[in-house]
Amino acid sequence: MSMFFSKREAFKEWKARRPFWGATLTILSGLVILWIPIQLYEVAIVPGSILFSGFFLGGLVFLLGVMSYAMPKLSTVFGVITIFAAVLSIMGALGGFLVGTILGIIGGALCIAWKPELAVVETSHHDLNDDHSVENEIASGIMES
């Protein structure tokens, strides 16, 4: 039973260090956007078909979601590119019947808005007094020796 709680806690810690919901919605959006070109592939395999842009944009949105998990520090950049790619996917893949576009916009916005949670550092009462004195010195501009 303790192993279950340790895995759950480890997942919570992993999730807190990444834009989890933004990346998850972005991956889901990429899959929904890719679904239409995959279904139409046999019908529209003519040269010059706009279907390939649907493959490209759907794959790009999916890849951006995966990269948001892998490199959370760049989630703002990935979120902006995700929003643009999701909106552009309307031309090539009908935006996954607009469901993929809406999920991509929401997922990209969540990736942009995500900020890492700072770890709570346990300090003693003595350390807190030292921190306040340093803040007071900096605020007043007078450094005590």
Structure tokens at 34: 């890719």
The whole-model pTM stands at 0.74
Listing DSSP states for 85-131 in one string gives HHHHHHHHHTTTTTHHHHHHHHHHHHHHH--PPPPPPP--HHHHHHH
- Distance between CA 21 and CA 132 in Å, rounded? 37
Question: Mean per-residue pLDDT for 125-142?
Answer: 52
Residue 65 burial (10 A CB sphere; 0-12, 13-18, 19+): buried
pLDDT tens track for 35-78: 988 887 776 667 767 778 888 999 999 999 999 999 999 999 99
pLDDT tens track for 7-25: 888 898 889 899 999 999 9
